[in-house]
Chain A
Amino acid sequence: MKTLSSYKIFAPIEKDTLWSYEIVENPDQMKLEYPNTVLSPKKIIFPQREVYLEFLASNEDGLEVKEILPDEKPSIIFGVRPCDAKALTLTDKVFGGDFEDLYYWKRRKQTSLVGLSCNTPPSPNCFCLTVDGSPYSKEDLDVLMTDLGDKYFIETLTKNGEQLVNSAKTLFKTPTEKDKKDLLKIQTEAKKKIKRQIANIKKIPPKLKEMFDSPFWDEESLSCIRCGICTYLCPTCHCFDINDEVDSLSPLQGKRVRTWDNCQFPDFTMHSSGHNPRPDKAARLRQRMMHKFQYFVERYKNYQCVGCGRCISQCPVGIDIIEVLDKVRDYGA
């Protein structure tokens, strides 16, 4: 059996005044009574910048290419919120399929998720209930912890989760009937504390499809300053760029890197000829809404949103995905 010391453990830590999932070096750094992290744990599985091959000029073959794969050490994301865990089930759909993305899956398969129920919403903009989530959703978790006040209620959900719990057996006791009642009570109350929602969300995908050519997008996108923070912070956004970085020109040596990219940037879709299928902010805001609530639904049968509220809380000009979709639903009615 693996001991806990054989894992890299990520947990919510306040770093540079921001909450984020970072490697725990000292258990005191870790705090579970944290607000929503600014960056989601997506970066652990799908890093913001990743070197995936190196190239080097050689005399014999002209050039050598070396594949750089992620290291094999297993990880635990400790205290992950149910919405962020659910987000990984959505990026799984993208990075899986006919062409499995080796880099994503190497990390994904060796990462265990120890979740933490949200007794109170970690952000005022949480709306997980609307998008098929819940503050104590077990989806994709190995273990779910719920704070009962003076202790945590631990639910092991997978074989892997069982092994994790067994590796620190002395910390746990069998729950009493009262513990089980308390758990139910806390979970029921947790749901009521989520204040935001998108009413009649099922009407939104077909309505979006009708509204592709609507002037609505021009109006809605006027305030956007195309900073792209909405998609960088989104736990479900997966778009990336690939570029070469040169360390030496002679002999040629360098690396190929993939980095997060952003559909809100003008050059995201611009052809080298200058032709741009999404030439303005309206087309790009439309793409973000359509991708999450229409295209993704059509392709993968899920909303590409887990209701974490980060894009709302952090948008510098107050574009609110819930308000935009509310307007879409009611447009022309």
Chain B
Amino acid sequence: MEPNTYIPKLASIIHIKEEVGGARPIKTFRAELREKNGFSFKCGQCAMLSVFGKGESMISISSSPLIKDYLQFSILKMGRVTSSLHDMQVGDTIGIRGPYGNGFPIEKWKGKNMIFIGGGIGLAPIWSVLHTALGKREDYGDFMLIYGARTSKDLVFKEELEELRKKMKVHLSVDVDEPDWKEFVGFVPLNVLEIKPSPKNAIAVTCGPPIMIKFVIQNLEALGFKDDQIYTTVENKMKCGIGKCGRCNIGMHYVCKDGPVYSWAELKNLPQEY
């Protein structure tokens, strides 16, 4: 355990990629810790990022723990801290503390067919677990990704998604039709019903806006998925990251510490307040 978990470690931004432009921009940042030891994490865990003078924001780590050289965060420009991050340049200093939260139980999923379902920036935490599982491809069955965004311009990791098609089935969607769009048009939950992934020996992992998660889970259930075959990762406003500041709770659970990853079997038994 860190002696004082509130003190962030300093890190340098070593790479910035503009994923999405326009009114809801997303950038992917890679950061290198000044002192490399002492930050080992599991996929699905989060880190508290600091922009000094602006504050902190809890962001899921989108790189796989298999990558040791840097930590990657894909961030939608939204509030004070994420807007400041979007103004930063390669070489700038940020703070990182953590990792926080429970992470995905991927050891438990060995031998299963993996279905990943993401919406918008919700692909970020999925990206970490997907690549960690792909790193041990032989341990798992079939892989499938169902991913969508408002428009084709809002899809993140576009080039990487094309690369990914060589390794697994990738089904993309946009919410409204566009002239050159060849794949599904409609919300992600509808695409799930369209593709009909089989629940047989499968685990579905979903992340996206709260409303998308809700309907994806509903539709997976309609396809025959059991509650303990469905996993999601929840976001709430957080300040401390360690279950003390009191705001991210869902019932008795602190999402920062007891979550953010829940099976639907676990989450459905908590108050529906997230």
Give the complex CA separation of A77 and B55 in angstroms: 34
Chain B interface SS verdict (over half): loop
User: What CA separation (Å) do A256 and B97 show in the bound complex?
Assistant: 14
What's the nearest-Cβ distance from chain B to residue A201, in Å?
18
Closest approach, in angstroms, between the C-beta of B10 and any C-beta of chain A? 6
Interface assignment of A181: CB less than 8 Å from any CB of chain B = no
A65 near B210: Cβ-Cβ < 8 Å? no
Asked if A242 and B4 sit within 8 Å, CB to CB, the answer is no
Chain B residues, CB < 8 A from A270: 237
Q: Count how many pairs of residues, one from A and one from B, have CB atoms less than 8 Å apart in the complex.
A: 116
* B201, CB-defined interface residue at 8 Å: no
Q: Which of B52, B54, B95, B271 is the most central at the interface, judged by chain A CB atoms within 10 Å of its CB?
A: B52
B64 to chain A: which residues have CB within 8 Å?
A: none
Quick check: is A271 within 8 A (CB to CB) of the other chain? yes
Please tell me if the beta carbons of A238 and B246 are within 8 angstroms of each other in the complex.
Answer: yes
Q: Which of chain A's residues have a CB closer than 8 A to the CB of B274?
A: 277
User: Chain A interface mostly helix, strand, loop or mixed?
Assistant: mixed
A254 to B53, CA, bound (A): 6
Question: Chain A: interface residue count, which band?
Answer: 35 or more
Q: Is A4 an interface residue (CB 8 A)?
A: no
Q: Is the CB–CB distance between B53 and A55 below 8 Å?
A: yes
Residue B265, interface by CB 8 Å = no
- On whether A240 and B55 interact (CB within 8 A), knowing A263-B247, A272-B78, the answer reads no
Contact of A239 with B52 at beta-carbon distance under 8 Å, contacts A65-B8, A102-B3, A271-B236 already known: no
Residues on A with beta carbons closer than 8 Å to the beta carbon of B242 = 98-99, 101
For chain B, the bracket of interface size reads: 35 or more
Interface residues of B in 147-171 (CB under 8 A from A): none
Please state if B1 and A55 are interface contacts (CB–CB under 8 Å): no
A269, B247: Cβ atoms under 8 Å?
A: yes
Contact A63 B10 (CB under 8 A): yes
Judging by beta carbons under 8 Å apart, are B6 and A212 in contact?
no
* Closest CB in chain A relative to B245 CB, distance in Å: 5
How far is it, in angstroms, between the C-alpha of A256 and the C-alpha of B52 when the chains are bound? 8
Say yes or no: is A61 at the interface (Cβ < 8 Å to chain B). Answer: yes
Q: Which residue of B lies closest to A67 (CB)?
A: B7
Interface membership of A38, Cβ < 8 A = no
B22 within 8 A of partner (CB): no
**Shortest CB distance A3–B (Å):** 31
Judging by beta carbons under 8 Å apart, are B246 and A261 in contact? yes
Asked if A175 CB lies within 8 Å of chain B CBs, one says: no
Contact B237 A242 (CB under 8 A): no
> CB of A189 within 8 A of chain B?
no
Tell me whether A94 and B53 are in contact (CB under 8 A): no
B32 within 8 Å of A (CB atoms): no
User: Closest Cβ of chain A: how far from B269's Cβ, in Å?
Assistant: 11
**Would you give the shortest CB distance from B80 to chain A, in whole angstroms?**
8
Beyond contacts A272-B237, A295-B249: 5 other A-B pairs, Cβ-Cβ < 8 A, are: A53-B6, A98-B242, A261-B245, A263-B246, A277-B236
Question: Which B residues are within 8 Å of any A CB, using their own CB?
Answer: 1, 3-8, 10, 12, 34, 52-57, 78-80, 82, 92-93, 95, 210, 235-237, 239-240, 242-252, 257, 271, 273-274
Give the top 3 A-B pairs by smallest Cβ distance, nearest first: A272-B79, A239-B246, A99-B242
Q: List 7 contacting pairs A-B, 8 Å CB cutoff, sorted by A.
A: A52-B6, A55-B52, A67-B4, A99-B242, A242-B55, A275-B210, A278-B273
